[in-house]
Chains A and B, each alone.
Chain A
Amino acid sequence: MAANVPLLLAAAITSVIGVLGGLGGAVLLVPALVLLGMPVADAAPLGLLTVAAGSVAAGPRHLAARVVNHRLGVSTELAATTGAVVGALASELLPQRPLVWILAAGAAGAALVGGHRTLVRNPARPELGPEHIGEQIGTLSGAYRSSYGVAPYRVRRVPLGLAFMGLAGLVSGTTGVGGGFIKTPVTSELMNVPTRVAAATTTFTIGITSSAALIIFALQGRMDFRPGSAVILGSLIGARLGGGLQSRLPAPTIRRALSVVLLLVAVILVTTS
């Protein structure tokens, strides 16, 4: 038990910071474990357990707000999950150094996304009422409740978006960091989906991506129950604490601080690999 307490604490702390920074805990947990000497191939399953636990725990809140576009999520997951499956299969064969470089690129990418974020919002339409909130049958479009009323949106640039989702899945499957730092900005700024919907839909989809890769890791014999339990428990505690602190702490400041830390982590990973 004692051997897993540091892992539990690391998962809890990185989850709190990840929730506050809006990037998820795995993008910090996996580099931290690697810098402490754990091979990327062993840290990746633990990172994805954090991602899956966070996705499951956040689901009810997003469903209550009706901001998840499930049709968009499942459609983009076709590409992301294919990338994650390929990445998970390849990660067993790849040597440590290229995996560390991919991880460093992921941390640097997350740092850039976290430090520079715009908010895509669509104008509300007065003729739309609460009955229009949600997804439209047969399309990727939908409507959400904005501060000014019910705002419709239409998804654009789907093929380009799918290409980026495949890349996000590949990074996730090889290194164990959640691909949310790629998926959310691609969904909002490239595919024209409001930021709230993009973030909630990404939280839904990263759970699927991580499940697909975790099944492969389990079949490869790369999952250990006791560290896995510690990470799941720590992540759930951290997600709850982070959610409670979210309204009390200045989110932009935390995001910028997390970006600086992630950039430093990326540099250290590259220089020590």
Chain B
Amino acid sequence: MSGGQHRPTSHITGRRQAAGLRLATALAAFAAAIGVLAPDPIGAITGSIAMGAVIAAPLLRVAWLIFRWSQEGDYRYVAIGLGLLSVIAAGAALTVASR
């Protein structure tokens, strides 16, 4: 772009990502509050929901981006995104296998 050649700008505005992240934040805060205050097993269950929300949200965001990039026909970044999720899956598989 600064060199003169201009490529089309992505139309992904991030509105749905933002809505999803707000939902994940609210869910994590609510579940974490119960996780701190409530006795087990409710506290343990809601605590796991809070941790699940903050762990899953960034990965779901990547999955959503892969979907949106495929709609834009940007297959190079679809492949990079899938590669990223594969690294995470391989790390998890390696951990399970080593136990």
Contact = CB atoms under 8 A, between A and B. Distances in A.
A159 to B, nearest CB: 15
B39 to A, nearest CB: 8
A93 to B, nearest CB: 10
Q: Which secondary structure dominates chain B's binding surface? A: helix
B67 interface: no
A229 B88 contact: no
Interface residues of A, number: 63
Contacts of B1: 136, 141-143, 152-154
B2 A59 contact: no
A11 to B, nearest CB: 10
Interface residues of B, number: 65
Contacts of A136: 1, 6-10
A134 B34 CA distance: 39
B14 A63 contact: yes
A154 B95 contact: no
Q: Which secondary structure dominates chain A's binding surface? A: helix
Nearest to A221: B99
B29 A1 contact: no
Interface in B17-63: 17-19, 21-22, 24-25, 28-29, 31-37, 43-44, 46-48, 50-51, 53-59, 61-62
Interface in A69-90: 70-71, 74-75, 77-78, 81-82, 85, 88-89
A229 B31 contact: yes
Contacts of B44: 225-226
Interface stretch (A98-106, A206-214, A263-271): A206-214
A232 interface: yes
Contact of A85 (B9, B56, B58, B91): B91
Contacts of B65: 70, 74
Of A8, A89, A229, A233, chain B has the most CB atoms within 10 Å of the CB of: A229
8 smallest beta-carbon distances between A and B, as pairs: A229-B35, A225-B47, A85-B91, A63-B14, A207-B58, A60-B18, A59-B21, A233-B32
26 contacts: A52-B54, A53-B28, A53-B54, A55-B58, A59-B18, A60-B21, A63-B15, A70-B65, A74-B65, A85-B87, A89-B98, A137-B7, A143-B9, A211-B88, A214-B51, A215-B95, A225-B47, A228-B32, A228-B51, A229-B34, A229-B36, A229-B46, A232-B29, A232-B50, A233-B29, A236-B32
Given A53-B25, A74-B65, 20 more contacts: A1-B37, A52-B54, A56-B54, A63-B15, A81-B87, A82-B87, A85-B91, A89-B98, A135-B9, A136-B1, A137-B8, A138-B76, A141-B7, A153-B1, A153-B2, A211-B58, A212-B87, A215-B55, A232-B32, A233-B35
